[in-house]
Every structure is written in C-alpha cells, then in structure tokens.
Amino acid sequence: MQKTVFEYDLTLEPGFDLTWQATPAERFAMLGLLRRLQPKLSLEIGTYMGGSLQALARHSERVISIDIDATVAERLKGRFSNVEFRSGDSRTLIPQVVDEINAGAEELSFVFIDGDHSRDGVQRDIENLLKLVPRTLLVFIMHDSFNPGCRLGIESAGWDKSPYVQAVEIDFVPGIFHRYAVSTTTPRSMWGGFACAMLTPEKRNGPLKIQKSQLHAHNAVKRVSIHGWQNKWRRGLLRLERLMRAGKG
C-alpha cells in the first residue's frame, strides 16, 4: 500500500528512532530552533519515550530531562552520554533544578515544557521556571498550546512577574484537531501546538502583551470540538437521558 507523506522520515534526522509525540510542523520548528540556539544546556519537562529528547541531546551540549515516571530513565539508560535524567514530580524537581542553574555558571538556552498537561500543572511548571535568571537568550517552548486546558494554563501563568520575559506567543506553531481517536487521544479533541516565550538577560522595559496570533482559528475549531461548551452541554444531556432510561427499565 502507498505510504503517506507523513510516513516518510522527512521530519527526522538520521538515527532518530524513538517515538516522538509531535506533529511534523513541531518537529521542524524544534529542530530549527535548536540549530539556531545551539544550547550549552537544555531542560526538558516530560521525557516519555525520549522522542523530543533525541533532538535536544543531538543539538545541545548537555540536557537535563525530568519525568515523574522512574521507568523512563531506566529504559533510556546509556542511550545518551550528555543527558542527566531526574525522576520525580516536576512540582518539586523544577524548583531544585532552577536553584542549581541560577547558582551555577552554565548557560541555559532552551526549555521544553511537556509534562503535566492539566491546566494547573502547566501553569505551576511555567511559574516555577520563570524564577530562572537568564545568562543568554533563553527560549521556552510549551507543547499542546492548542489544547484548551493547557492553553489556559499557559495564558494564566504570571509571565510579567519575570522582568526577563520579552515576548510570549501562544500560537507560535498552531496545533491540530483529531477528528478520530489517534493513539491516546479522544475523537474531536484538540492537541499539539507550540507556545513560545523569549527571555533575555536584559530586563524588559514596558508592559508585556501575550500574543495569540491564531486565536480565531483556535476558537473556531473549539466550537466543533469536544471542548466547546455547546458540546459539553449536549454530552451532559445525553448522559442524563441514558440514566433516566436506565432508571425506567
């Protein structure tokens, strides 16, 4: 059977064989940013199968990768010579890593946030990371900015509390609509997308505006998705109807 364009390895570099939960646009964007930034140090929240980590490890001198699942570090042991795995909840690990980086001399230039996907979890991870004091241009990429819960977490974070944040774009790479269930996703759900924040060692002068360049596209898709309030109501009514029918039977 003929392969689709997506089934070819166009978005992967030679040797990338770990499952990477990202769209082709996200992969190109991350690889492009890494080539441009050439990080001395990168930090990842959410290792999973090591898909994004293989890109970070290839293009950074050193990487710290955090995951709550201790089997991740076990599975990927020996795979990367420049990666330090930290196992545990980002809620406690990020503050420790931020203190270490701020107290040390290494230049952190790339942070990939892809761990806890709940609204509060995303917001908490970002706010803990905003305690970083940049020594060079520092880029944060937040995955799943198209998912309404993650998006709210990103939008609600206290970005302006860090004087080093110069710009935030929620729709740096727009996400996707899953018409049908794919892997762990539900039909008609919204996932993917990269939000991007830029921090510099210089302090910002003036107020910070959070840009959402694809807000209207996001809202249009949300209306027909399972995240739309009309659909939440409809699902609730159907559930009630089923319960009432079961009660009668």
Ligand X SMILES: C[S@@+](CC[C@H](N)C(=O)[O-])C[C@H]1O[C@@H](n2cnc3c(N)ncnc32)[C@H](O)[C@@H]1O
Interface contacts to ligand X, rule CB under 6 A:
20-22, 46-49, 51-52, 66-69, 72, 89-91, 114-116, 121
Residues, the chain, total?
Answer: 249
Min dist. Cβ of residue 144 to ligand X (A): 8
Task: Tell me how far, at minimum, the Cβ of 233 lies from ligand X, in Å.
Answer: 29
Query: DSSP states of 223-245 as a string?
Result: HHSTTSHHHHHHHHHHHHHHHHH
Judged by beta carbon, residue 37 or residue 68, the one nearer ligand X is 68
Q: How far is the CB of 241 from ligand X (least distance, A)?
A: 35
CB 16 within 8 A of CB 49: no
Nearer to ligand X, 90 or 123 (CB): 90
Could you tell me the smallest distance in angstroms from the CB atom of residue 23 to ligand X?
A: 11
168, 157 Cβ separation under 8 angstroms:
no
22 and 53 in contact (C-beta within 8 Å)?
A: no
Task: Quote the CA–CA distance of 111 and 116 in Å, as a whole number.
Answer: 15
| DSSP 8-state class, residue 38 | -
Q: Which is nearer to ligand X, 45 or 165 (CB)?
A: 45
Cβ closest to ligand X, residue 18 vs residue 166: 18
Q: Which two tokens stand for residue 86?
A: 């930290």
Cα separation, 237 vs 60, in Å, equals 51
**CA gap 154, 151 in Å, rounded:** 5
Least distance (Å) from ligand X to the CB of residue 178? 14
**Residue closer to ligand X, measured from CB, 143 or 218:** 143
